[in-house]
Chains A and B, each alone.
Chain A
């Protein structure tokens, strides 16, 4: 599965773009999280590997900005492995290993559609990719 962050601004906010893409491409898209504020909307979705390319092209053609890749960046210089963030993650993307190192799982993280850990970091080491 490929994780993509879909960004809706202007006209695309009110259009049923995601449904259109699903119908046109006949690909099951798994919506993991969605959020909306005054600047627009965001959907974090999973697309099957083999159809990722054409689905992404289809979203882009409809005016949706598509981001693929890391959803958060953790500054390992700042992070001291305190784990303050650990209990705040609703999807268990943050784990503490046997050596008490704090690890972030990019395949589970909901990124900017969640962001609950960001203000809990005493060292401001977590940044959302927008």
Chain B
């Protein structure tokens, strides 16, 4: 397809103040009313926007040298450990690194926001000392004005689209996709759909190394594809850089996801030059044409079950259908802010303060997102489950006590006549009963029992035991029939063998 204009021509029009710029939402309306041909002819640039949690973000800072100089080995800002990726005084503030004194509430993302706000932060560093860098400790306070460089340097941002998350398990899950009620009680999604930057040029015809973008309220650049870039599945990502000293807390925010950790909300907008009709058509892609998978985050595995497909139009309506039930769905990224970003970028171009760049190299379209190479695969409970010692509700307390001794176990699983789990009795329960003179077994049975399925992993089982302060999990099938038991001792032995 022949191009109808070049980026140089668009920049000339921007200079003259007569470039025609529409936001992605406005472009959709224009294409609907006048068609792609006319829209391609009339429009020079379409602006996009997204404002969401982007965990693989951070900032590189340079402190300048102290006197006497220090070659920093470990450093903390506001009690958040920052890494030392370079020589003496270059530090990288990772968004998800958490404060050692306020974990899960304050982290690297908040440090970056505080610095952007111009707040003073506390720096603490230690070093081993060398002939050229003799100093071994330093404590000081800094603001962004004291820094030589303060650049946002994010290695994976701006997903083209993302999964819709829900939770089919029986427990509430706190995830990087937010708080998910059990039994598909709610759902969450991320991304701005028809405003999403990479969605509006999904073949990356105009996006690549050197593309100038809106980043955090300032002008920044795409410096390549992001990590885990997965173009073939429609999950493209970008790596970006921008001068954080010029950014605004309106578009860069530290955030905390309960029981997951801290992160950074990043605002990104990419201008799409409408070089031909094909780009005009893609820039006009609508929410109802953009689909994503509904994924069950209740299953803690790499490949989580997919429960169906859903469009961004349905997601933005606030309600989707999962297993024939209406489920409320929360956006996690701010669609209002995404709009503000697309509008701001539009204004910058109209005012002649933002010019477009042609990429030096386009984002790759053939990379594959591989899983981790592991020496050992996951260990499933079915491979370590032992037969459970069981009893029925009407057995004598003394008989149950004897079973504990004879089998040298600490847990007896209580089952009904159909083999289904009805409770559990531990050696502690029996000891307590004896001490209190209780003789009725029914009075000491624990009825609320945490269980596991045979195809769950050892990691999940040990986490469940730790969370609930218990030392064994009966293994049951999907109907609740007891298949065996796994104790914390079994898992400790297994880990010892590794």
Whole-angstrom distance between the alpha carbons of A120 and B188 in the complex? 11
B293 to chain A, nearest CB (A): 18
A101 surroundings in chain B (CB, below 8 A): 336
Contact: A87 with B334, CB < 8 Å? no
Across-interface contacts of B330 in A (CB, < 8 A): 83-88
* Contact stretch, chosen from B7-15, B80-88, B255-263, B306-314: B255-263
- In the complex, what residue of chain B is closest to A81 when comparing beta carbons? B336
Contacts of B187 in A (CB 8 A): 87
Query: Of B146-154, B178-186, B387-395, B446-454, which binds chain A?
Result: B178-186
What count of chain B residues pass the 8 Å CB interface test?
Answer: 30
Highest count of chain A CB atoms <10 Å: which of B105, B331, B333: B331
Asked whether, in the complex, the Cβ of A88 is within 8 Å of the Cβ of B334, the reply is: no
Q: Mark B245-274, 1 if CB is under 8 A from A, else 0.
A: 000000001011110000101000000000
A120:B339 contact, CB within 8 angstroms: no
Contact B257 A122, beta carbon cutoff 8 Å: yes
The 8 Å CB contact of A124, one of B181, B256, B265, is B256
Contact call A86/B328, Cβ cutoff below 8 A: yes
Residues of A with C-beta under 8 A to B337: 80-81
Given known A-B contacts A120-B179, A122-B255, A124-B105, A84 and B188 have beta carbons under 8 A apart: yes
Contact residues in B for A100 (Cβ distance below 8 Å): 331, 334-336, 339
A119 at the interface (CB under 8 A from B): yes
Provide the residues of chain B in CB contact with A83, threshold 8 Å.
Answer: 330-332, 334-335
Residues of B within 8 A of A85 (CB): 330
Closest-CB distance, A33 to chain B (whole angstroms): 18
The answer to the question of B318 belonging to the interface, with a C-beta cut-off of 8 Å to chain A, is yes
B328's nearest neighbour on chain A, judged by CB, is A87
Query: What number of residue pairs across chains A and B have CB atoms under 8 A from each other?
Result: 73
- Asked whether, in the complex, the Cβ of B333 is within 8 Å of the Cβ of A82, the reply is yes
By the criterion CB–CB under 8 Å, are B186 and A81 in contact?
no
Residue of A nearest to B192 (CB): A100
Instruction: For the complex, give the distance between the alpha carbons of A85 and B318 in Å.
Output: 12
A84 to B332, CA, bound (A): 5
Tell me, in angstroms, the Cα distance from A84 to B335 when the chains sit together.
12
Contacting A at CB under 8 A, from B165-204, are: 178-179, 181, 186-188
Considering only residues 57-100 of chain A, those with a C-beta below 8 Å from chain B are: 80-88, 96, 99-100
B255 to chain A, nearest CB (A): 4
Within residues 99 to 130 of chain A, which ones have a CB less than 8 A from any CB in chain B?
A: 99-101, 119-120, 122-124
Are A88 and B179 in contact, with the CB atoms below 8 A? Answer: yes
Task: Give the CA-CA distance A85 to B179 in the complex, in Å.
Answer: 9
A80 and B105 form a contact (CB under 8 A): no
List, in ascending order, chain A residues with CB within 8 A of B327's CB: 87
Q: Closest CB of chain B to A84's CB: distance in Å?
A: 5
Which chain B residues numbered 353 to 397 have a C-beta less than 8 Å away from chain A? none
Contact of B318 among A96, A119, A120, A123 (CB under 8 A): A96
Q: In the bound complex, what is the Cα–Cα distance between A5 and B17 (angstroms)?
A: 59
Q: Which of B186, B263, B318, B332 contacts A82 (CB 8 A)?
A: B332
Interface of B toward A, CB cutoff 8 Å: 51-53, 105, 178-179, 181, 186-188, 253, 255-258, 263, 265, 318, 327-337, 339
Which A residues are closer than 8 A to B by beta carbons? 80-88, 96, 99-101, 119-120, 122-124
The 5 closest A-B pairs by CB, nearest first: A122-B255, A87-B186, A87-B328, A100-B336, A87-B330
